[in-house]
């Protein structure tokens, strides 16, 4: 893929997919407009979530909230198997009650892999297969069955999240992690390679190469993504397109419209209108 695909919106309220792929693959950093439950079943992969990197073991899952930047790298020529369940916020809200917030499991801003026992993994997969059958069914009550199976799955992952979780090793090089955090914290400024050189006491060439090798992004691409994400937040706060442009430090209005549309898939104005629906 020539251009990193930063924003991958869900077209359906609920998706359930059991996937198998073979071979070395790099899935670029991207974000969603909903929640993702990701279960790793087999393979040799690295999972990148924001500025962290983990090597999950089979039977571990991650809960990825909306707008969380993440990607997968399959590191060998073997089989890579996983299950993903994607759902929009409106679905979570409809399934939750005053006593039970089924979205509580997504509260950590940056997710970490959580282990399932063999029994829990079998239960997880059984529910997913039932959910997928209900999603593709045209029988009477299929929509009710979807809600039942989703509720069962969300109860399972919430209960697993309430256990004490041992934090896995973070494989992201400290310098890359620090550069990503620095960029996020200084978006209101004009970020340059020279500025990074002075702050981190490293050559710009070294920083750029290390960053690209571990994120798949150039520094410029990452800064652009962070600025677009900031613009989306401002539009969600009902600021105008002009305010979002300058609030995310796009000095050039035409460049803002062009960059936003290319990465998000719709213009800032259309994105703002969609928020009102």
> What's the pLDDT tens digit per position in 94-142?
999 999 999 999 987 678 999 999 999 999 999 999 999 999 999 999 9
Q: What is the mean pLDDT of the chain?
A: 91
Domains located in the chain, CATH noted? 14-161 (2.60.120.280), 174-275 (1.10.10.60)
pLDDT at residue 2, as a whole number = 42
> CB neighbours (10 Å) of residue 14?
19
What DSSP character marks residue 51?
A: T
Residue numbers in the chain where pLDDT is lower than 70: 1-10, 109, 164, 277
Place of tokens 């059984």: 126
**What is each CA distance from 157 to 88, 106, 120, in whole angstroms?**
17, 10, 9
pTM: 0.87
CB 109 within 8 A of CB 65: yes
Nearest CA to 207 out of 175, 184, 183 is that of 175
pLDDT at residue 109, as a whole number = 65
pLDDT at residue 243, as a whole number = 93
The whole-angstrom separation of Cα 129 and Cα 83 is 10
pLDDT at residue 28, as a whole number = 84
């Amino acid at each position: 893929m020539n251009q990193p695909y930063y924003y991958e919106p869900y077209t359906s309220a609920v998706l359930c997919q059991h996937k198998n792929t073979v071979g070395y693959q790099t899935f670029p950093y991207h974000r969603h407009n909903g929640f993702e439950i990701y279960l790793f079943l087999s393979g040799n992969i690295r999972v990148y979530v924001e500025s962290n990197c983990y090597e999950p073991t089979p039977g571990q899952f991650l809960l990825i909230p909306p707008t969380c930047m993440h990607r997968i790298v399959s590191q060998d020529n073997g089989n890579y198997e996983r299950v993903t369940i994607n759902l929009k916020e409106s679905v979570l809200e409809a399934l939750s009650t005053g006593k039970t917030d089924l979205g509580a499991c997504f509260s950590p801003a940056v997710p970490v892999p959580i282990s399932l026992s063999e029994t829990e993994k079998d239960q997880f997969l059984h529910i997913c297969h039932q959910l997928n059958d209900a999603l593709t069914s045209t029988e009477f009550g299929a929509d009710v069955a979807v809600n039942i199976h989703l509720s069962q799955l969300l109860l399972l992952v919430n209960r697993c999240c309430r256990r004490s979780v041992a934090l896995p090793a973070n494989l992201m090089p400290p310098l890359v992690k620090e550069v990503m955090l620095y960029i996020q914290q200084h978006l209101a400024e004009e970020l340059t390679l020279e500025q990074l050189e002075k702050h981190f006491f490293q050559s710009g060439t070294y920083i750029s190469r290390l960053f690209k090798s571990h994120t798949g992004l150039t520094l410029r691409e990452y800064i652009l993504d962070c600025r677009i994400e900031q613009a989306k937040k401002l539009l969600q706060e009902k600021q105008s397109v002009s305010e979002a442009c300058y609030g995310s430090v796009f000095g050039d209005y035409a460049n803002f419209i062009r960059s936003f549309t290319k990465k998000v898939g719709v213009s800032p104005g259309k994105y703002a209108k969609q928020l009102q629906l």
